[in-house]
Amino acid sequence: MAVTEMGASSSVRKEARSSLLYDPKVRGFVFQLLLVVAIAYLVFTATTNAIENLKRLNLASGFGFFSNVSGFDITQKLIEYSASSTYGDAFIVGLLNTLLVAGLGIVLATLLGFVIGIARLSSNFVVRTLATWYVEIMRNIPLLLQLFFWYVAVLTPLPGPRQSLSFPGDIFVNARGLFMPAPIFGEGAWMMLAGLIIAPVAWFFIARWAKARQEATGEQFPVFLTGVALMIGLPFLGALLSGFPITFDRPVLKGFNFAGGMRVVPEFVALLLGLTLYTAAFIGEIVRAGILAIHRGQTEASNALGLRAAPTLNLVIIPQAMRVIVPPLTSQYLNIVKNSSLAAAIGYPDLVSVFTGTTLNQTGQAIEVIAVTMLVYLTISLSLSTFMNWYNGRIALTER
């Protein structure tokens, strides 16, 4: 009896094993093998085609062009750069310009976005309606169209340098950009700079000390006021000690243009304006959703504890809402970085415009140029999302 049963079960197993077609392991293996073969085939054909095409078009390959002279100038540069600099320098100039506009855009869009998001939930009808329409209009019109609007319709038709709009403090606005006095740091200016660096560090440590003291004794310390006083006072002290070494280089109208001072190109203004206004609408929606996700009981409880509206928002609602807000906020920050590449459309010299545009046109080395550009954006994206994930993990709810 037992023997036959054994025999039956083993024959069943043998049968199951005999049909390889239905073995999930074998199937999975075959399937993956097919995928690998298909991808390898694709890569192989693409490479052979590329090699053939490059030979036919007589194009160079490799990254040697990075040290060749570029021969074009760039309107906005944060480092020394001229037409006799190399493509490598042009790449760095473009990258820095991208980072500058994206960084400023992130800060401004976050500030405006929080204001919009909170205004969307205001009990004030006028404020709420305004914020709602702002969001609906901004996020339903393509960013590129908004950039064209700011650049072509608003900034370009501004009067020429001779008819500039002038503002108090030697600030001039015209079709060539925004002209401002540029500070020149004389001898001993490092003391001011040191003050500027020491102040936030001191602020951080005072805040830590004050928090520890409050947790131990319950005594409060005016951290914010002290911090502000430090931020203003320390650089001022530095300036006082070194005898005010700062002078201003004022922009002066000479002939047909301004000389001296600091110039912000209109492309930068248009791009920053467009990025900020567009992304603020999305951030506003995220903030609103985050605040709505916090239970009403939290507001009521903090009111019952005697907190006013502002501390309720700052100490109770926002810290909890941040947990909901941060993940989608991360993808908005990434969007700002990626959308800053729209600069190419209005001629702001960002990475895409300088490198993927001009450099590619001049060298014709499409594969290398595009691979490098994509790698840069991937690196920025990945590092930004890593940082935001770290921040998210820090503020996440610690469940005990």
Partner 1 sequence: MSMSSDMNTMGIGFVRTEQAPTLSPPASTVGIIGWARANLFSGPVNTLLTLVGILIIYIIVPPVWNFFIANAITVGKDRTECLVEIPGACYPYLVARFQQFIYGFYPEAERWRVNLTALLCFGSVAWLLIPATPRKSWMAAFFFVAFPVLAYILLSGAFGLPKVATSLWGGMLVTFVISIVGIVVSLPLGILLALGRRSKLPLVKLFSVIFIEFWRGVPLITVLFMAKTMLPLFVPEHLAPDQLLRALIGVALFSAAYMAEVVRGGLQAMPKGQYEGADALGLSYPQKLIFIILPQALQIVIPGIVNTFIGLFKDTSLVTIVGIFDFLASIQSSLTDPVWATPWTAFTGYGFAALFYFVFCFGMSRYSKFMEERLARSHKR
Q: Would you say 151 or 179 has its CB closer to partner 1?
A: 151
The most distant pair of C-alpha atoms in the chain lies apart, rounded to whole Å, by 112
Q: Would you say 28 or 64 has its CB closer to partner 1?
A: 28
CB of 54 to partner 1, least distance (A): 7
CB of 120 to partner 1, least distance (A): 13
Q: Would you say 92 or 380 has its CB closer to partner 1?
A: 380
CB of 168 to partner 1, least distance (A): 21
Q: Would you say 19 or 398 has its CB closer to partner 1?
A: 19
Q: Which amino acid is at 44?
A: F
CB of 189 to partner 1, least distance (A): 39
Selection from 380, 384, 377, 378 nearest residue 327 by Cα: 384
The two beta strands, 165-167 and 257-259, are: unpaired
Q: Would you say 143 or 234 has its CB closer to partner 1?
A: 143
How large is the C-alpha radius of gyration of the chain? 30
CB of 153 to partner 1, least distance (A): 4
Q: Would you say 344 or 388 has its CB closer to partner 1?
A: 344
Q: Would you say 294 or 366 has its CB closer to partner 1?
A: 366
CB of 213 to partner 1, least distance (A): 32
Distance CA 322, CA 291 (A): 8
The sign of the dihedral angle between the CA atoms of 93, 94, 98, 101 is positive
Selection from 219, 342, 380 nearest residue 211 by Cα: 219
Distance CA 339, CA 275 (A): 7
What is the 3-state composition of the chain as percent helix, strand, coil, each rounded to the nearest 5? 70, 10, 20
CB of 264 to partner 1, least distance (A): 22
Q: Would you say 142 or 200 has its CB closer to partner 1?
A: 142
Q: Would you say 89 or 285 has its CB closer to partner 1?
A: 285
The set of residues, in sequence order, having a beta carbon less than 8 Å from that of 168 and lying 6+ positions away, is none
CB of 164 to partner 1, least distance (A): 18
CB of 314 to partner 1, least distance (A): 15
Contact residues for partner 1 (CB under 8 A)? Answer: 28, 31-32, 35-36, 39, 45-46, 49-50, 52-54, 56, 122-127, 130, 136-137, 139-145, 148-149, 152-153, 157, 334, 338-339, 341-342, 344-345, 352, 356, 360, 366-367, 370, 373-374, 377-378, 381-382
Angle subtended at Cα 271 by Cα 99 and Cα 276, rounded to the nearest 5 degrees: 85
Burial of 4-38, coded b for 16+ CB within 10 Å and e otherwise, reads: eeeeeeeeeeeeeeeeeeeeeeeeeeeeeeeeeee
Distance CA 391, CA 385 (A): 10
Task: Using alpha carbons, list the distances in angstroms from residue 68 to 194, 349, 362, 390.
Answer: 39, 19, 11, 40
CB of 176 to partner 1, least distance (A): 19
> In angstroms, how far is the first alpha carbon of the chain from the final one?
58
Q: Would you say 22 or 205 has its CB closer to partner 1?
A: 22
Please state the φ and ψ torsions of residue 185, each to the nearest 5 degrees.
-95, 120
